[in-house]
């Protein structure tokens, strides 16, 4: 895992949206989560993620976030 903000920089969630598309049950095959930073600016960052089935590629959930970057100094 990598980050696009400098080590020691704080951040907090401003907005979070999660959409559950289908249920995850005990017998659900293996899932994969992929996240992407869409924008990393001086004061805000946005990202999105998707959870899909590794066998069939079906979408189980997706979400977005906006974070405030808390730079010091």
pTM of the shown model: 0.84
Distances in whole angstroms, Cα of residue 60 to Cα of each of 26, 37, 40, 72? 14, 20, 26, 38
The predicted pLDDT at position 11 comes to 93
More reliable by pLDDT, 3 or 20: 20
CA dist 62 and 56 (Å) reads: 16
Cβ atoms of 29 and 22 within 8 Å: the answer is: no
Check whether 68 has a pLDDT greater than 70. Answer: yes
List beta partners, residue 61: 20, 51
CA dist 30 and 65 (Å) reads: 24
**Strand bridging mode 31-40 / 10-20:** unpaired
Q: What is the pLDDT of residues 6-59, one digit of tens each?
A: 888 999 999 999 999 999 999 999 999 999 999 999 999 999 999 999 999 999
């Amino acid at each position: 895992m990598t980050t696009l903000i400098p080590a020691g920089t704080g951040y907090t969630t401003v907005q979070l949206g999660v959409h559950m598309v289908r249920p995850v049950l005990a017998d659900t095959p293996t899932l994969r989560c992929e996240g992407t930073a869409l924008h990393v600016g001086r004061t805000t960052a946005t990202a999105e993620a998707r959870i899909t089935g590794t066998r069939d590629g079906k979408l189980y959930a997706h979400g977005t976030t906006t974070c405030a970057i808390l730079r010091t100094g």
